[in-house]
Copies of this chain bind each other. A is one copy, B any other.
């Protein structure tokens, strides 16, 4: 494994984050997970656009040189001998003195690493009871490194031997899974929760929505319980849902089609 860290390609043991980095002390950062297929960085423009939205919201002053970053990503893949991979780009605000208020002159920290691609497998999903997604926060609309609600929800699923959990927002509407958006076919119509309910604007979510007709509407747990088909989407792929709570589902035709076509 090779880690690209602020311009250097290093072995993980040699790569170093400063303990005063706000990414470590305050979760003050952003990330993107990018699917690499046959050596190509899929939908990389969309990832850079979303990263840009996050940098703007958090006022992290990184000048994104897309060519240089893409070059660094390819260098990591080459060093690791990977052409089919999940690539992670992490940007934190950088090393700082203590305190919540950031100094605007901080130099952001940029890290890139990759692992071999493991396609998402069909999985079972439950509703998280331990926590809720903060739909009232703009943080829910960019991909940040302050992930504890998703981690708690995923841990609850794992404790129950379930593959993933759906987070509800404070009003009880379905928001998303712990690192994926959720889609359901209900009364023959493909639907997904709107961003205002706490769904991350997922890159694959957008790809599905421009590939076939999708309705955006608030979904309750009861709505999902009567779905004919459910699947999760992330940049790493489409994951058919084989059980929602105690209800079994079969892998549906839309998930199968999207797995082929996206």
Closest-CB distance, A121 to chain B (whole angstroms): 13
- A152, B58: Cβ atoms closer than 8 Å: yes
- Contact partner, A131, options B18, B100, B139, Cβ 8 Å: B139
Contacts of A20 in B (CB 8 A): 3, 12, 113
Q: How far is the CA of A5 from the CA of B20 in the complex (A)?
A: 11
Contacts of A101 in B (CB 8 A): 151, 154-155, 157-158
- B19, A170: Cβ atoms closer than 8 Å: no
Residue of B nearest to A31 (CB): B25
Tell me, yes or no, whether A26 is within 8 Å of chain B by CB: yes
Also in contact, A139 and B145, with CB within 8 A (given A5-B19, A90-B24, A179-B100): no
- Contact partner, A100, options B92, B115, B154, Cβ 8 Å: B154
Closest-CB distance, A12 to chain B (whole angstroms): 6
Contact with B along A184-222 (1 / 0, CB 8 A): 000000000000000000000000000000000000000
Tell me, yes or no, whether A242 is within 8 Å of chain B by CB: no
Contact with B along A5-25 (1 / 0, CB 8 A): 100000011011111110111
- A102, B151: Cβ atoms closer than 8 Å: yes
Contacts of A146 in B (CB 8 A): 27, 145-149
- B147, A139: Cβ atoms closer than 8 Å: no
Find the residue from A27, A101, A147 having the highest chain B CB count within 10 A. Answer: A27
- A145, B58: Cβ atoms closer than 8 Å: no
Tell me, yes or no, whether A64 is within 8 Å of chain B by CB: no
Tell me, yes or no, whether A36 is within 8 Å of chain B by CB: no
Interface residues on A, range: 35 or more
- A24, B26: Cβ atoms closer than 8 Å: no
- A98, B111: Cβ atoms closer than 8 Å: no
Tell me, yes or no, whether A86 is within 8 Å of chain B by CB: yes
Find the residue from A25, A132, A133, A135 having the highest chain B CB count within 10 A. Answer: A25
Q: How far is the CA of A170 from the CA of B102 in the complex (A)?
A: 25
Closest-CB distance, A142 to chain B (whole angstroms): 9
- Contact partner, A102, options B59, B98, B102, B155, Cβ 8 Å: B155
Tell me, yes or no, whether A46 is within 8 Å of chain B by CB: no
- A59, B27: Cβ atoms closer than 8 Å: no
Tell me, yes or no, whether A136 is within 8 Å of chain B by CB: yes
Within 8 A of B (CB), among A68-82: none
Q: How far is the CA of A13 from the CA of B19 in the complex (A)?
A: 9
- A139, B144: Cβ atoms closer than 8 Å: no
